Amino acid sequence: MFDISVVFKVPAEIAEGLANGSLERVGGVIRDSVSKQVVAWLREGDTISFEPPSEILNSQLSQLMMQGQMLMGLQVANLAVSAVGFAMIYRKLQGIERQLVGIDSKVTHLCSR
């Protein structure tokens, strides 16, 4: 099975509406983004291209690989932030422990009098 890419002739005012989001294309139909009413039907242009599935799959695979690399980078950044947060909490707990040891020694000293 082949995917067929069809070229449409798009008038300037419709292209502008598609670009700014006020219009949307569904197949060869242009409709208002809010009311969903049909505004125009596109006509096929002069060029029709047949793209083999292998080329489509290759482009999709490269996009997935890029997304995977981005996801891996975000996971590494998340791990680094977690490690830094853990280190900060550990240092604070050590400070609290030292304070408790100091308080304990003072209480022990007062009770021994």
Which residue range forms the structural domain that includes residue 25? Answer: 1-51
Q: What pLDDT sits at residue 34?
A: 92
CA-only gyration radius of the chain, Å: 32
Residue 106 in any domain: the answer is: no
> Does any domain span residue 89?
no
Q: Evaluate whether residue 24 is within a structural domain.
A: yes
- The reply to whether 32 falls in a domain is yes
* Number of domains into which the chain is organized: 1
Task: Give the per-residue pLDDT at 46.
Answer: 60
Decide if 30 is inside a domain: yes
Residue 47 lies in a domain: yes
pLDDT 10s digit of each residue in the chain, 113 long?
Answer: 666 666 777 888 888 998 999 999 888 888 999 999 998 888 776 654 455 667 777 778 888 888 888 889 889 889 989 999 999 999 999 999 999 999 988 888 888 77
14 located within any domain: yes
Task: Tell me if 97 is assigned to some domain.
Answer: no
Instruction: Count other Cβ atoms within 10 Å, centred on residue 23.
Output: 19
Residue 75, CA distances (Å) to 11, 68, 81, 85, 89 in order: 45, 10, 10, 15, 21
pLDDT at 9: 77
pLDDT of residue 47: 53
What pLDDT is recorded for position 90?
Answer: 93
